Amino acid sequence: MKHYDLSEIKIYPLSIKDIDQVYAIEVETFPTPWSRASFVSQLLGRRSNIYLVAKKNNEVIGYTGIVKKNKSGHITTIAVKHDFKRKKIGTLLLISLIRTAKKRGITRLFLEVRQSNMIAQKFYERFNFFTAGKIRRYYLDSGEDALVMVVDDITNYEYKDIILKLEGELKT
């Protein structure tokens, strides 16, 4: 497995010119992908939405996003290009998203994850997300239930320490 120097990976706000590359990752990753129009809508929608891309040179290798609702942030998506999975890109993206969310006044995060997706659940648990509930038959493609995972306060010192620890792991 080839390792990448994470210093080669830069995080940027999603721009219109990134949509085709983001959409290609979306189709590669999800059984029911968002449309290109959905990404454009999220990008051009409310100014409080936060969408980020990870790039190596000019290649988009991952993306993530939040829709802000008052002081809560709904993490709507996170994905990494197949060739770059398991190389800490997702961790880098989520740390960047959380830092940006805090700057925008978000204090609480939530997301939905497939009940069967144990890898994603373990990933979010590293960021102190916990399962707060279930939405029955949430996923239209399979009828699978979604778990609702939450972090109640991303602004306290305890959470800051969790993020600093995860950042430290990026350097190893």
Looking at the annotation, which residues are catalytic? Answer: 112, 124
Closest of 109, 107, 97, 95 to residue 65, by C-alpha:
97
CB neighbourhood size of 144 (10 A)? 15
**How many Cα atoms sit within 13 Å of 112 on the Cβ side?**
11
CB neighbourhood size of 85 (10 A)? 14
Report DSSP letters for 129-161, one per residue: -EEEEEETT--TTT---EEEEEES-SSSHHHHH
Q: Which residue has the tokens 């998203």?
A: 97
